[in-house]
Amino acid sequence: MTESTFDAPLLWLATKYSDVLRIDPRVVKQALETVPYTIRGQRQLWHVRDAMPAIFQRVYGSSTPQDPDAMSPKDALDYYRAQRESLRLNEDIRKMIPAENFNLATQITREVIAETLKALPDALEKDCGLSPIARATAQRAVDAMIESFAANLCVNPH
């Protein structure tokens, strides 16, 4: 197999296929037994274009990932039922915690955290004997944290 500079990153060891696909290395090696390979140093490298169909064939009984249109009618029906149930579950989860309740709880939590942080420098001055200069520095740091917290918090991603 001739390889161009473009193809070089697409030449993988059997262990890389195993790691990337999270498949047992022995299964990958069995799948690659009949696939053409290139030798670099003392290592066998397989091109992704050649190896992936062989691995899918070995693992799934098909040279491509499962396509419901290519399945038997019963398998396709099972596939679509599973997809429908997944959608229903997601819908039920959204109904269990309405967005308004979630947003209100998040807002209250954010306000409680901000108020607690704002009180921290005063408590340190009173309870720990923090000097007024150190208290002012702590207050600036807390204000910066609150601003950062508010900027990074996404109350409603929709």
**What pLDDT is attached to residue 156?**
43
17 pLDDT more than 80? yes
DSSP string of 65-104, one letter each residue: S--GGGS-HHHHHHHHHHHHHHHHHHHHHHHHS-HHHHHH
Least confident of 9-23, 52-66, 111-125, 139-153: 52-66
pLDDT tens-digit profile of 86-144? Answer: 888 878 877 777 778 888 888 898 899 989 999 999 999 999 998 999 999 999 999 99
**How much of the chain exceeds pLDDT 90, in percent?**
31
**How much of the chain exceeds pLDDT 70, in percent?**
89
**What pLDDT is attached to residue 74?**
83
- Buried b vs exposed e over 100-129: b needs ≥16 C-beta within 10 Å? eeeeeeeeeeeeeebeebeeebeebbeeee
Look at 62 and 22; give whichever has higher pLDDT: 22
pTM for the full predicted model: 0.38
